Amino acid sequence: MRSMTNTNWTRHLKIFLAATALSLSAIGAGTGQAWAVSDKQTIAQSIQTLQKSDRRWIQINLSKQRLIAWEGRKPVYAVLISSGKKSTPTRVGTFKIQSKYKSTRMRGEDYNVANVPFAMFYQGNYGIHGAYWHRRFGTPVSHGCVNMAPNHAKWLFEWASLGTPVVIQK
């Protein structure tokens, strides 16, 4: 039986539990080789897992500037969004809705917006919310959040619950 404490090699297993995604990487210390599952593959696996379930989940495609609300493999709502511009990009990955506010104030270095409607935060200050201050949906213009027309944000806010998976891809 080979000892697991052998210093010639090291294995690392990372389980990324966001939306039941599994990310596996192995590093051979003796060879300097490393194999890792890319973010793109992890996101694809998350989508595949969610489509096999009956769960509600949100998919955001940054290259198409589209948001789709899903119930398992059935799309139930689709809208144009405005994601982050190049200087303030929207993060890619698999997240979960952590908090919801019917109305909130959003502040940054160069903005201070009151009464932002139907905000759902999925990572820190990154969220999906209504935007009444512009109508350029389909174009990246935000500071990293996912902007929607307020009526669409209201629908999504009422449909999604805390813990709803959010998958953001390029």
Average pLDDT rounded to a whole number, residues 86-107: 97
Instruction: For each of the domains in the chain, give its residue range(s) and CATH number, in order of start.
Output: 55-169 (2.40.440.10)
Exactly one of 134, 143, 145, 152 is catalytic; which is it? 145
Euclidean distance between CA atoms 23 and 43, whole angstroms? 10
Q: Is 134 noted as a catalytic residue in this protein? A: no
Instruction: Kindly indicate the confidence band of residue 146, based on its pLDDT and cuts at 50, 70 and 90.
Output: very high
Query: Which regions of 42-110 does DSSP assign to beta strands (E)?
Result: 56-61, 66-71, 74-80, 93-96, 99-108
Euclidean distance between CA atoms 166 and 135, whole angstroms? 23
Q: Where does residue 138 fall: left (phi above 0), alpha (psi -120 to 50 degrees), or beta otherwise?
A: left
> Among 16, 132, 128, 134, which Cα is nearest to 79's?
128
pLDDT at 37: 54
pLDDT at 143 over 80: yes
Q: Is 145 noted as a catalytic residue in this protein? A: yes
Average pLDDT, the chain: 84
Give the percent of the chain with pLDDT over 90: 75
What are 102's strand-pairing partners? none
Average pLDDT rounded to a whole number, residues 56-65: 98
Exactly one of 12, 129, 134, 143 is catalytic; which is it? 129
